[in-house]
Structure formats: C-alpha cells, structure tokens
Amino acid sequence: MKSSIWFLAVTVLFCLCLRGKGQLRADYYASSCPNLSKVVWREVFKALQNEMRMGASLLRLHFHDCFVNGCDGSILLDGSDSEKFAPPNLNSARGFEVIDTIKAAVENECNGIVSCADIVAISARDSVLLSGGRPWTVLLGRRDGLVSNQTGAANGLPSPFDSLDVIISKFAAVGLSTTDVVTLSGAHTIGRARCALFNNRLFNFSGTGAADPTLDSSLASQLQSLCPQNGDGNVTTPLDQSSIDFFDNHYFNNLINNKGVLSSDQTLFSGDAATTTSTRTLVQIYGSNSGLFFSQFGSSMVKMGNISPLTGNAGEVRKNCRVVNSS
C-alpha cells in the first residue's frame, strides 16, 4: 500500500516535470498571457484585411522556420548570416513586418512572455482559418533560438526543382512522413509563386523544345504569356488558379487536372518514381474529401510545429523578433 502511494507520487511528479520541460502544450500561456490568442487573431485579421495573400505568407513562414533548426523563430533574425538570404527565402519569404506588428501588440499585452516562434505558429493557424480552412489546436511553449542558420535553410528546405524522392527525404530528416508531404503541400491552395520557380516547365522543358507534358496546355499558354523567356522572374501567379486566397481542397483537383504550378506539386500526382504511387492515391482521396484534408492538415501542422522545439531554459524569449536579446 505504502509503496504504491510512493510509486504514484513519483509518477505524478515525473509527469509534471516532463510537462513543464520537454513538451509543448495548448495552455502554456493560460495564466501568463490569457488574451494571447485574441491579440494575435486581431492582428492577423487586420493584416489579411489589408492583403489577403499575407495569410499564405505567414503560413509559409512557420514552415520555413520549423524546417531549419526547429520551430525556433530563427527565420526572423536579421544579419548577414540570416536564413532570409538563403535561396528558398531570398526575394521570397515575406510577412516579417506583420510579425513585428503582432509581436508589438503581444508585448503590449504581456511584456516579455511570448516567444516569436509561438507567435509565428499561432499566426499560421489563424491565417488558414481566416482563409476558409478549419482550425487546429496550436501547441505552445517554444523558445526562440539564438542563431539563424543560412546553410541549414539552403540545404534543408525543399526546392520546387527537387525530385519527389529528395523532397520526401528532406521531410523525413525532420521527422515528417510521405503522408505529411502530400497533406502539407495542400498549403499551396493559397498564395503565389514567381515565374523563376516554374518557367523551366514552359518553353524547353528538359531540352525537349516543348512545355512540360504534365502541365495542362491551356494553363501552359497562359503562363507562357505571363512569364515570357528572359522576362521578369519576379512576376507572380496564384498557386491555386481555381480559388485564389481561399483555403480549400482545389489544389488536389488541380493536380489531377495537370494544373499544378510547381513541378514539385505536379509530381505528387504525375511523377514516375515508384514513390508516386502512394502520393497519387492520397491526392485523389483529398481531392474528393475536403473534410479529411482539413483534419489531416491540422494534424500535420501540429506535427510540423513540434519539430525540435527549444523548451525549458533553452534559447530565450526574444524581445525583438529580429535580434537576439544579448545584442
């Protein structure tokens, strides 16, 4: 009897410690910043009111943060070593000023309590919700990292020119599955892509003298006039031409109709690698079942948000998302 009480007490203490230290949880700021979610929601709402695309940009920031040194706000740091200058982010990642505005509003509400990494995670969820998607519970308690890892960003983030196998291995390197690749690629139901990232598909694809055969011919000619050879590579087009700025499952139906904009999108359905068999099936399932896509997207976002978080006394809670506190 006595020993079982001791066993219980030790177990409870152990669990409390684990909870306090290693893991993210939904109610992390419940007493230290009870109005956090309201403040972030209000600021994201304002940002999207000003520019609907910002929802896509904030969602992508969380992804690009998490894949490099974990979800630690490292993408937000300025400086010559910044991840902002790595190829996947240069002239591409956006929303930094909006994060500054949200951070200022949060600091005003609860000074020095909430990490930048958590603000990015909540903003991503609110962006999806305000764009027409379904909510998920964001786990919190991440601390901010002390370094921005430019080579990590250059090597770890997937490129639209990567093969499906390479993309799958980059996701696997951070603990995400092939299912997560397909599910999270559904984020491309909102946002824009620049000509430079898909114009290799338009004129002389792989030296064939013609457009990519897995690109619908009417979309190909539309994109050819938007992105002429030797034109401005920064011109953008919606990733989901059928419902711009609206978070739905049309992305998957686009792929089924050869209307994926990026090569890395279309390959989930049309690739010839053995791995495509499983991704193609999932594309078809999500294309006909938006409810399943929405719920799986939430689960995969929680999983992505859990990539190597700094917790406990690791890292810090940055005062200014652009610089570490000591500097």
Q: Is 190 in the site for ligand HEM (CB under 6 A)?
A: yes
Q: Which of 149, 263, 264, 296 forms a contact with ligand NAG (CB under 6 A)?
A: 149
The answer on whether 83 is annotated among ligand-binding residues is yes
Count of C-beta atoms within a 10 Å radius of residue 214: 17
Q: Is 159 in the site for ligand HEM (CB under 6 A)?
A: yes
Task: Report DSSP letters for 181-209, one per residue.
Answer: HHHHHGGGGSSEEEGGGTGGGTSSGGGSS
Q: How far apart are CA 182 and CA 96, in angstroms?
A: 27
Q: Which of 28, 29, 63, 247 forms a contact with ligand HEM (CB under 6 A)?
A: 63
CB of 34 to ligand NAG, least distance (A): 5
Q: Which amino acid is at 153?
A: A
> Among the candidate windows 22-30, 187-195, 224-232, 248-256, which touches ligand HEM by CB under 6 A?
187-195
CB of 114 to ligand NAG, least distance (A): 13
In whole angstroms, how far apart are CA 181 and each of 39, 97, 161, 193, 295?
31, 28, 15, 18, 15
Q: Can you say whether residue 315 is alpha, beta or left, with left for phi > 0 and alpha for psi between -120 and 50 degrees? A: left
Q: Is 204 in the site for ligand NAG (CB under 6 A)?
A: yes
In the block, tokens 């007493």 appear at 31
> What's the gap between Cα 64 and its chain centre?
6
Q: Is 69 in the site for ligand NAG (CB under 6 A)?
A: yes
Q: How far apart are CA 38 and CA 42, in angstroms?
A: 6
For residue 315, the partner it binds in ligand NAG, ligand HEM, none, with Cβ less than 5 to 8 A by kind, is none
Q: Are 181 and 279 in contact (CB under 8 A)?
A: yes
Element (H, E) at 96: helix 96-109
Kindly name the residue from 64, 170, 259, 280 that is annotated as catalytic: 64
Q: Which of 119, 164, 187, 307 forms a contact with ligand HEM (CB under 6 A)?
A: 187
Q: Is 138 in the site for ligand HEM (CB under 6 A)?
A: no
Catalytic site includes residue 64: yes
| String of contacts with ligand NAG for each residue 220-259, x by CB under 6 A | ------------xxx-------------------------
* DSSP tag of 137: P
3-state secondary structure of 24: coil
Q: Are 224 and 204 in contact (CB under 8 A)?
A: no
Within a 13 Å sphere around the CA of 169, how many CA atoms are in the beta-carbon half?
6
For residue 262, the partner it binds in ligand HEM, ligand NAG, none, with Cβ less than 5 to 8 A by kind, is ligand HEM
Q: Which of 49, 111, 155, 288 forms a contact with ligand NAG (CB under 6 A)?
A: 155
Q: Which of 114, 117, 139, 197 forms a contact with ligand HEM (CB under 6 A)?
A: 197
> Among the candidate windows 28-36, 40-48, 181-189, 281-289, which touches ligand HEM by CB under 6 A?
181-189
| Binding footprint of ligand HEM on the chain (CB under 6 A) | 53, 56-57, 59-60, 63, 92, 94, 158-160, 167, 181, 184-185, 187-188, 190-194, 197, 262, 264
- Which residues are tagged catalytic? 64
